[in-house]
Structure formats: structure tokens, C-alpha cells
């Protein structure tokens, strides 16, 4: 399990220097191993109805600090907006499915931890 790659979860924060115009950027929260999951047709069309272009679903070990206001970056450097985080029932180890949506704006990544 979880052998398909690494995903780093970032919080979107203001990375501008004090006194300057706010500038959204990413601050690292945590890094998780993941396993690719199938993006089901029902989930895909549900996203399209809400004008969200869903691209991937990944399964990771459960971590309490991931939410739908974060950004996920895979090991290839591609950035995704986290659309949904769902706990998976009746599996071991405890896991969660993260639905990743296409992101139009690339954020600047900060090496600081949140």
C-alpha cells in the first residue's frame, strides 16, 4: 500500500513581507505516501456540475491536518487544489481519499513549515 509516490500538503498563506501587498503562497504542512485510486464516473460528473475539473483521487494514511483549503503537490511538482478529503471505512491501516482538482494558478512554494 501507498507505494505510488509522495504528496506534500501545503497551506495557502500570505508570504509577503510585512507592510507589502498580500501575496498568496504555500507553506508546508506534511508529506504523505499515496496510492492512486480510480476517479469514478459519478465523482467526475459531480465535479463537472460544480464547474470543478477533478483530475485524480489518491489514498493516503489518515492525517488530521488535511482539509479542502490546502494544496497538494506531487513528486513531479504538479500542484492540485484539494477538493474533498474522505475517511475510508473498514480498511487497515486507517486511510483517507483525497480528491485533487486542476489548479489554474501556480503558487510560490515556501520551505517554512506551518
Q: Please check whether residue 69 is in contact with residue 101, taking contact to mean a CB–CB distance below 8 angstroms.
A: no
Cα–Cα distance between 34 and 1 in angstroms, integer? Answer: 8
Percentage, residues of the chain above pLDDT 70: 97
Mean pLDDT over the full length of the chain: 88
Cα–Cα distance between 58 and 27 in angstroms, integer? Answer: 21
With bands split at pLDDT 50, 70 and 90, how would you rate the model's confidence at 114?
low
Q: Please check whether residue 112 is in contact with residue 44, taking contact to mean a CB–CB distance below 8 angstroms.
A: no
| Set of cell numbers at residue 86 | 474522505
Q: Please check whether residue 71 is in contact with residue 23, taking contact to mean a CB–CB distance below 8 angstroms.
A: no
pLDDT for position 113: 74
For the stretch 17-41, pLDDT in tens is: 899 999 888 999 999 999 999 887 7
| pLDDT above 80: residue 101 | yes
> Any bridge partners for residue 70, and if so which?
11
| pLDDT above 80: residue 67 | yes
For the stretch 82-96, pLDDT in tens is: 999 999 999 998 999
Buried/exposed code over 94-113 (b: 16+ C-beta within 10 A; e: otherwise):
ebbbbbbbebeeebebeeee
Model pTM score = 0.84
pLDDT for position 88: 92
Amino acid at each position: 500500500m501507498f507505494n505510488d509516490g509522495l504528496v506534500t500538503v501545503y497551506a495557502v498563506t500570505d508570504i509577503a513581507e510585512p507592510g507589502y501587498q498580500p501575496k498568496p503562497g504555500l507553506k508546508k504542512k506534511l508529506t504523505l505516501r499515496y496510492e492512486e485510486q480510480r476517479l469514478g464516473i459519478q465523482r467526475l460528473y459531480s465535479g463537472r456540475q460544480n464547474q470543478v475539473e477533478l483530475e485524480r483521487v489518491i489514498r493516503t494514511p489518515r492525517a488530521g491536518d488535511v482539509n479542502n483549503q490546502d494544496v497538494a503537490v506531487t513528486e513531479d511538482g504538479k500542484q492540485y487544489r484539494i477538493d474533498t478529503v474522505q475517511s475510508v471505512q473498514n480498511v487497515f491501516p486507517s486511510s483517507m481519499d483525497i480528491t485533487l482538482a486542476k489548479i489554474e494558478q501556480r503558487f510560490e512554494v515556501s520551505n517554512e513549515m506551518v
